[in-house]
């Protein structure tokens, strides 16, 4: 007896095979996707070495956009998948983060979660006044210049460090300092004080004592020397002139202090009327050093004062050649000759004839 196979019997194996193929395809696809996503957990995801700045915890979108803009990652979607799994958007910490090429997705997300930011190098030099200093600090750290100014204007903090309103600039030594971008104004100020104490080591304190000057007086004189001198190699010689005048009890007669008192460092010529200004910084009227620095002198200027040149010069004026160097004199008579030559050249070049005051 012969039985024929029904159509239903033939369909069942085919249907089973199709389902198996579909399942296999889906499994392979899911596996490939999972490999792609989870592969970045332990495999490199950072493509471009760069710095990422996070200002606050509510800027996740801006943070993600910065990753895209800098083309930092091999796969942004894979990173975001990991970030969502670890709830990074709710745990973002402000800071400057340095992304190293080859970092895995897992380590990168953990770096942000832990707030493992990289330090920045704060550098300030060629600074005269506190607003200038605040401006430089504000452009390099997360804090703004106004918050820096408010902090340095805190008299309680200033007194705690042992300074007054005149001597306070001496605490800020121009240099390059490593710190975190998110440092607070108060902690930044504490750091500056620690750096000041570190700067005034045993050797510098010994040199200051030999010169019969306090650290603040050294910085004050260095600020005058820096404003007076263009060439660093001449600083110790000019510092020696001022030291000689201090020892004799003479007025320093330093033009930069008059400019500071007038609030105008751009003056090219000091007039006789300028010398009558009533100010503790008028070194033509008052003997000795002014009450504090007129700028934030460089370390080279400070060390030039500490290692001042020993000589018998009491006067100096700008060379008539205008090469930035000075003519030195031991006697007032010789100084008048040098000064006359300089002023004749000023007149010849018609420099400083127009008064700055109206």
Cβ atoms of residues 90 and 99 within 8 Å: no
Residue whose C-alpha is closest to residue 305's, from 236, 256, 255, 241: 236
Is the pLDDT at 230 greater than 70? The verdict is yes
Residues whose CB falls within 8 Å of the CB of residue 228, separated by 6 or more in sequence, listed in order: 238, 254, 255, 256
* CA quadruple 86, 91, 95, 96: dihedral, nearest 10: 20
For the record, the structure tokens of 57 come out as 């915890």
pLDDT of res. 356: 40
Is the pLDDT at 355 greater than 50? The verdict is no
Distance (Å, whole) CA 134 – CA 157: 17
* DSSP conformation letters of 187-241: HHHHHHHHHHHHHS-HHHHHHHHHTT--HHHHHHHHHHHHHH-S-GGGHHHHHHH
Give the max Cα distance, the chain. Answer: 146
Report domain extents, the chain.
16-118, 121-199, 202-349
81 vs 349 pLDDT, higher one: 81
Cβ atoms of residues 253 and 283 within 8 Å: yes
User: What digits encode the pLDDT tens for the residues 81-106?
Assistant: 899 999 999 899 999 999 999 999 99
Residues whose CB falls within 8 Å of the CB of residue 325, separated by 6 or more in sequence, listed in order: 230, 231, 234, 319
User: What digits encode the pLDDT tens for the residues 55-65?
Assistant: 886 788 889 99
- CATH of 16-118 among 3.30.1490.480, 3.60.21.10, 1.10.260.40, 3.90.550.10: 3.30.1490.480
- pLDDT above 70 covers what percent of the chain? 85
Taking the alpha carbons of 292, 294, 300, 304 in that order, is the dihedral positive or negative?
A: negative
21 vs 348 pLDDT, higher one: 348
The residues facing 317 across adjacent strands are 327
Distance (Å, whole) CA 82 – CA 111: 13
* CA quadruple 98, 102, 108, 112: dihedral, nearest 10: 0
Distance (Å, whole) CA 218 – CA 223: 9
Global pTM exceeds 0.85: no
What is the Cα Rg of the chain in Å?
34
Is the pLDDT at 216 greater than 90? The verdict is yes
> Which of the four pLDDT bands, split at 50, 70 and 90, describes residue 354?
very low
């Amino acid at each position: 007896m012969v039985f024929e196979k029904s159509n239903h019997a033939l369909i069942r194996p085919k249907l089973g095979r199709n389902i198996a193929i579909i399942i296999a395809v889906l499994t392979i696809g899911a596996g490939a996707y999972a490999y792609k996503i989870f592969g970045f957990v332990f495999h490199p995801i950072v493509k471009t070495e760069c710095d990422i700045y996070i200002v606050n915890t509510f800027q996740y979108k801006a943070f993600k956009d910065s990753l895209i803009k800098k083309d930092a990652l091999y796969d942004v979607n894979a990173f975001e998948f990991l970030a969502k799994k670890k709830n990074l958007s709710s745990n973002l910490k402000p800071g400057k983060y340095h992304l190293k090429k080859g970092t895995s997705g897992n380590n990168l997300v953990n770096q942000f979660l832990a707030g493992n930011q990289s330090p920045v190098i704060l550098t300030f030099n060629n600074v005269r006044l506190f607003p200038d200093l605040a401006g430089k600090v504000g452009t390099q750290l997360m804090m703004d210049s106004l918050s820096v100014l408010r902090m340095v204007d805190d008299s309680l903090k200033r007194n705690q460090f042992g300074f007054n309103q005149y001597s306070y600039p001496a605490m800020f030594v121009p240099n390059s300092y490593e710190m975190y971008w998110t440092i607070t104004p108060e902690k930044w100020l504490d750091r500056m004080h620690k750096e000041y104490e570190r700067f005034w080591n045993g050797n510098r304190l010994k040199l200051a004592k030999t010169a019969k000057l306090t650290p603040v007086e050294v910085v004050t004189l260095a600020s005058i020397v820096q404003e007076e001198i263009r060439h660093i190699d001449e600083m110790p010689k000019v510092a020696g002139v001022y030291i000689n005048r201090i020892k004799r009890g003479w007025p320093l007669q330093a033009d930069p202090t008059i400019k500071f008192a007038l609030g105008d460092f751009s003056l090219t010529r000091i007039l006789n009327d300028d010398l009558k200004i009533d100010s503790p910084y008028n070194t033509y009227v008052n003997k000795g050093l002014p009450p504090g620095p007129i700028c934030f002198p460089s370390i080279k200027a400070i060390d030039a004062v500490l290692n001042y040149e020993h000589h018998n010069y009491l006067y100096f004026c700008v060379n008539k050649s205008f090469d930035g160097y000075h003519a030195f004199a031991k006697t007032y008579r010789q100084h008048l000759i040098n000064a006359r030559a300089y002023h004749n050249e000023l007149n010849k070049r018609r420099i400083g004839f127009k008064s700055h005051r109206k």
